[in-house]
Chain A
């Protein structure tokens, strides 16, 4: 079942829950979880603790914003510091590069009867992670301002977004109607990723780590980015989610490309006015250049099990974590995330992510060296966006920076 079906089916199946009884696997084991620090992860890990802490000898959770920085070092020793790490697309690659997580096929067979097939993250037939939530960037629009500026309907392509922005500017409503997370570093690299992927671009030559970004698609993606920057807040190179959300809630933007996970807090009654929240429309990420792929990268968060721990510990950890992935848990925390678990009822805040996923957006690539490429993009595109150099030079710089890093990391010779 794809996410598309899930969204529909989720609404129908609703409260058709699985049994409240949980199979916690081998008892008397030590379960130690490392995870980031946000509500959806607290919901899953917390439910697992409530279900299975009794059967375990030890159940600890370490929620930290630095999870990503310490996970590889933490899982390297044998026995590892943690039996499970909760990961996303990029962090799974980071762990798999060092061979620190184990295949889950047997555990899924034994404990995963209630899981959906689409939750399985498989690499070459091996289930390496079990996903439980999704996220992506998508379009936020202010329907009242669009109407006032004479734009009919919600833009569905970047060309329409730009035209709408121009109309809003021309109508004198806002000088900078657009907000985007273009902060130099990870964020601006991510903006390039999504627009480039929507152009049908590839980052690497097939089956190798050699870069393949020096092409017209990349140039086209950059020129879209520059046009978008025209209409974005002058400080866009310093703005990430917190700033763009702030601008949106203050009613200073009419079009926004922001994270779906910010939808809920934007639509709630805190920090904003009735005028903004009631007119904010969440829709799928726009397509670009006549393509059909929404310009976004889809993200999932899921559980993994460490390689360097005892088999019984691993089994108990897996059993405990999947025992939390039930419709009851989802019902209790429905609005904390876009759940991939059976029983999710998409609320208004999930509309954008659902539309983006069903529209066929690409996942953030799980390629071992994508992090190096992302890093190079984040650092080297800034001169172009400031207008200090041309698109060709910017791409050449990215390529040179990536090749240098990839050589050092052993991916290229």
Chain B
């Protein structure tokens, strides 16, 4: 097959007469196909079970079919209404609303529509409930008057402006909510000062993550330095002390901190015993930001130590010796010669810890109380308690973009392929 003796012609051919180039290209294609066939099952699996759900979340964060689905005729009739005229829509629209609501009440979908619109404008839920109860008792004709009699909100231009604003199938409403803005009657504007929570929560998540990253760096750097400079047989032994927490269940470590930091816990008991604090005013270290910072620093510390260690291991000790023999003090030698070489490790560790930290849910939930929680806790709340899935999705998309951006930076510094475990 690979006998490439040229038989008289200028073109190299294989034994069976195909040109060598073609034969090689074919072999290459076969190899590519083989690798793709091996990758395909997992690729399809990840696409279906993981990326499709993420895409679904992206879609949910802007999707707003419910208005057009529940009130199809009204939405069609409203499109003819001139919203800027300042006048109420004409009788056609009210008649369409009557038809739509009759069907919606049958399917009980008007309450769902009401609670959906209530996320954007409070009072909508009760408006739809109230109207839904009366709509089948309305007489034919002159619906406008009858609707206004049921609830005078139907006689306000604002209600109709609002409905028209939310009749398209896609809406930026959830995203605006997620950054404390609202898409109200007068257009996009920030919410009143006292209702803004998400921007602050994002800021707090970033701030606490930075504090956690900082304390991980502060505690991780000396450890990595020690491990990298000890003889291998000592450092391997001490490495166990880093790897054991790394391998211990997250919940075990969180429960340990919950137990230790309690007011009746081991740390407070010791402090009282040492006489550092009196029995009556034990320190509150849990269910606040302190709790989150301490527990998460402990949990994420190995993620800082391991990349730092792998970088420091490669730095030859002769640089420091050279610096010192040239007259540098210990500090100068460290700061001007050693430290700059560890910056890639610091970058890798810091970004890794920061990425992991801003998406954390379990630990803040258990030890964070109310002022130590992260944006993830709010996402979870909207999924399982308030059921505002669109807002949860929008918050999730913002968090995800942040993480992906950081990961892009991480990839540039370290490279995805260099992710090492244990």
The answer to whether A binds B is: no
Interface, chain B (partner A; CB < 8 A): none
